[in-house]
Amino acid sequence: MNQKFNLYTPDDQKVWQMLFQRQMQKLPAIASVAYLDGIEKAGFVANHIPDFEHDTNPRLQALTGWSVVAVEGLVPIKEFFEHLADKKFPASNWLRTMEQLEYLEEPDMFHDTFGHVPLLTNQSFCQFLAEFSTISLKYIESEAAMKLLQKLYWFTVEFGLIRENNQLKIFGGGIISSSGESVYSLFSGIPERVDYSVEEILRTEVKIDAYQKKYFVIESYEQLYESLRNFEEILERQLLVYQ
């Protein structure tokens, strides 16, 4: 699907600008270096929505071989993982309104694009996404497996933290694109922050309607990718619990 970049209105551009500037006032001090580098490498700026076809994708292709494919909204899970396995990240082409700046029920273009695309400039993160999606497609017919796979995606790609130079930073797109959770995840005394463990992630409940009660901390994006080496063995053991 084409992004239909020319159909974005001046109000759309203003919403992007407001959200971009608000987050970029906070993120330089709290976001992963790889994410911040990715903002520049992907060509993201405040004064206009990213143009996938003419700007973003040529940059990503040159760096990691990935691209962004525009979609109208949430896509079926099989199609979603097929895109990722093919090194294509699905991003909604619609943007929230001024009245929706603080809360949305489903991800919009700002969440998908600002939250996730900058890390598509990092090769190890991209390798994790592609391999994770390939594994997910092998288990696509198993409801129990997909629930477990959702947890790993949720606590890494969406709500992951990383330790850089002995400091906690954010990298998950769900945190990056959230004005409130980007601060809460690092500085609130409420949630746990624990070392990354695939086994523990698969035992942790997902919170989809509130800030997380637990965040998992990776040491590097290479660690994230390497953790998939024996992931299927761990997944199979967990599936036995469901039987």
CATH number for the domain including 96? 1.10.800.10
Residues 6+ apart with CB under 8 A from 160: 170, 171, 172, 175, 215, 216, 217, 218, 224
Residue 158: predicted pLDDT: 96
Whether residue 242 is predicted with pLDDT greater than 90 in this model: the reply is: no
Closest to 136 (Cα-Cα) out of 124, 120, 119, 150:
150
Structural domain range at position 201: 5-242
Residue 73: predicted pLDDT: 81
Average pLDDT of 56-84?
A: 95
| Tokens linked to 29 | 């001090």
Q: What is the pLDDT of residues 198-217, one digit of tens each?
A: 999 999 999 888 899 999 99
For residues 147 and 16, what is the distance between their CA atoms, to the nearest angstrom?
A: 33
Buried b or exposed e, range 125-150, using 16+ CB within 10 angstroms: bbbbbbbbbebbeebeeeeebbebbe
Closest to 174 (Cα-Cα) out of 93, 111, 81:
111
**Domains contained in the chain, number:** 1
| Tokens linked to 77 | 């899970």
Element of type H or E holding 240? helix 231-242
Q: What is the pLDDT of residues 126-141, one digit of tens each?
A: 999 999 999 999 999 9
For residues 117 and 120, what is the distance between their CA atoms, to the nearest angstrom?
A: 5
Q: Which residue has the tokens 């994790």?
A: 128
- The maximal CA–CA distance of the chain, rounded, in angstroms, is 54
Residue 138: predicted pLDDT: 97
For residues 183 and 86, what is the distance between their CA atoms, to the nearest angstrom?
A: 33
